[in-house]
Amino acid sequence: MAGQQDAVFARDEYGRPFIIVREQARKTRTHGIEAVKSHILPAKTVANIVRTSLGPRGMDKIMISPDGEIIVTNDGATILGQMDVEHQIAKLMVQLSKSQDDEIGDGTTGVVVLAGALLEHAESLLDRGIHPIRIADGFERACSVAVQHLDRICDRVEFSKNNTENLLRTAMTSLGSKIVSKEHRQFAQIAVDAVISVADLERKDVLFDLIKVDGKLGGQLSDTSLIKGVLVDKDMSHPGMPSSVKDAKIAILTCPFEPPRPKTKHKLDITSVEEYKKLREYEKEKFEEMIKRVKDTGANLVICQWGFDDEANHLLLQNELPAVRWVGGPEIELIAIATQGRIVPRFEDLSAEKLGKAGIVREVSFGTTREKMLVIEECANTRAVTVFVRGSNKMIIEEAKRALHDAICVVRNLIVDNRVVYGGGAADISCSIAVSKAADEIPSIEQYAMRAFASALDSIPLALAENSGLPPIETLADVKSRQVTEGNSRLGIDCLGKGDNDMKRQFVYDPLLSKRQQYLLATQLVRAILKIDDVIVAGQGDE
């Protein structure tokens, strides 16, 4: 064989065998069609890993980091992002999932499953002697047919600030496969309320910067809440300071509470008690000057990016000026946006106009612990919100945050474009039928690639049926024949066993933006892989 590969034979959780391709040999490389085929195997392997995580009954994966940290998730982008893949084509699949996550925020598993299925069908076409470029062209043609068909079968969902039921149902569809599915109506409501709070419905724009998701160990998932304001994982710098401040006028500082020092390397020698007292008086004078500048603006709370020592802390307490220290840069920015204050880099620049305003700033304590967090509510900018997630362990909190991110993205997508298609594989089956019909009218060899594309679209409902414990081929054949005979594109896989295949009646919605992007991204990647006929490591040619 021209190009020997280092491969490992393994089995998945169902005992099915698969091969992991580690790395191509250095000197003996495959070229041409053989190379294209060799690239399909690692891509299929990656797709098979996440395939079992698709849908509301999908299985979770445990990811173990090098330092032993455990992540339990069924989010495609997280699984692939944590995987240590060496093969170049497998890395492309990881990037595919990431681009879906960055652009849409949901559908990261489906896009990888579809790309894997397309490559699997492309392999059989290559075996029949069809050139990779003709296959890629056929896939492109089929993709445009499928995307146009999505536009025909989509429905518009109506919503307003006072009527968000349709947004809620779409968010619930997204959360159905997540760890929070037990509380998925509550989480969906939180996601919808958060997005509606920061959305400009007229411009169809959602300011993600105003939504912060934070979490704390303790409590249970049902204790998760939406706070109309900002939550900061800090407390007052001194236990003697008041735990709440009403009608807060906040000085937001990025300069430290300490005497000025020379910028360059410096050394100060103190050789007598008098000199030490003189230095101490100088520092105290500077501290008092800083506090006076803050008090003169009318501020009654200081939020500082940097720390300050015990002497400054004591002086702040004496001058009845509550303060919070070591607040991170992103949080400082969010507080400034929410309170409509200005971030001040020097005490000399501080003025009354630059203060942030909030109705109340208070400390919140948790259970029997001494941990406290700061809540800034009734802010001048009422659109800033924080989702506060509770859970029994760190793993559940992190997975709940990822689930909320997906749900928030889904609601955002509906505000940008309120068209939906129906889930449960209904849209994929309908597009598969449409592509098959279009292929019958194509006289060229591309018709084979188009039929392969139609078969690949069936892989998503097949995976959904398999993961739900249903007989995959029989279930798909039944739903597909009903779609053809009844002309009903809303029929899909009944994953939850409700006895009804009509996804509209089950309220299983998918944003059109998400489904369309899945098709386009998967086709684009498959075309790129089919055009690669050699891998050359930089600086390593044929020897």
Whether residue 194 is found in the same domain as residue 176: yes
**Which three-class secondary structure state does DSSP give residue 112?**
helix
Residue 438 lies in a domain: yes
Whether residue 348 is found in the same domain as residue 322: yes
- Whole-prediction pTM value? 0.80
Residue 68 lies in a domain: yes
Cα–Cα distance, 480 to 425 (Å, whole number): 10
| DSSP string for residues in 51-101 | HTT-STTPPPEEEE-TT--EEEE--HHHHHHHS---SHHHHHHHHHHHHHH
Report pLDDT for 13: 65
Residue 535 lies in a domain: no
Residue 490 lies in a domain: yes
Sign of CA dihedral 156, 157, 159, 163: positive
Cβ neighbours of residue 63 closer than 8 Å, sequence gap 6 or more? 70, 71, 72, 73, 78, 79, 82, 83
Cα–Cα distance, 409 to 379 (Å, whole number): 24
Cα–Cα distance, 502 to 490 (Å, whole number): 6
- Looking at the annotation, which residues are catalytic? 75, 108-109, 406
Report pLDDT for 28: 43
Cα–Cα distance, 257 to 527 (Å, whole number): 58
Cα–Cα distance, 402 to 105 (Å, whole number): 10
170: CATH: 3.30.260.10
Residue 312 lies in a domain: yes
All residue ranges of the chain with pLDDT < 50 are 1-5, 24-28, 543
Residue 409 lies in a domain: yes
Whether residue 376 is found in the same domain as residue 400: no
Q: Where are the alpha helices (DSSP H) in 297-425?
A: 310-318, 329-339, 394-416
Report pLDDT for 450: 92
Whether residue 234 is found in the same domain as residue 191: no
Across the beta sheet with 385-391, the strand order is: 211-217, 385-391, 225-227
Whether residue 51 is found in the same domain as residue 135: yes
Whether residue 174 is found in the same domain as residue 236: no
**Which three-class secondary structure state does DSSP give residue 456?**
helix
Whether residue 521 is found in the same domain as residue 402: no
Whether residue 254 is found in the same domain as residue 290: yes
Query: Look-up: residue for tokens 């307003």?
Result: 160
Could you tell me the residue range of the domain that residue 396 belongs to? Answer: 159-218+388-417
Whether residue 377 is found in the same domain as residue 237: yes
| Structure-block tokens of residue 29 | 């490389």
Report pLDDT for 117: 93
296: CATH: 3.50.7.10
Residue 467 lies in a domain: yes
Cα–Cα distance, 192 to 27 (Å, whole number): 56
Whether residue 374 is found in the same domain as residue 238: yes
What would you measure as the largest C-alpha separation in the chain, in angstroms?
100
32: CATH: 1.10.560.10
Contact by Cβ (8 Å): 425, 492: yes
Residue 537 lies in a domain: no
CA 292-342-357 angle, to 5 degrees, is: 80
Whether residue 27 is found in the same domain as residue 151: yes
Residue where a domain terminates, one of 417, 438, 471: 417
Report pLDDT for 65: 82
Whether residue 182 is found in the same domain as residue 237: no
pLDDT digits (tens, 9 = 90+) for 257-272: 777 666 666 777 788 8
CA-derived radius of gyration, the chain: 29
Name which of 33, 6, 13 is nearest 530 in CA terms: 33
Domains: count for the chain: 3
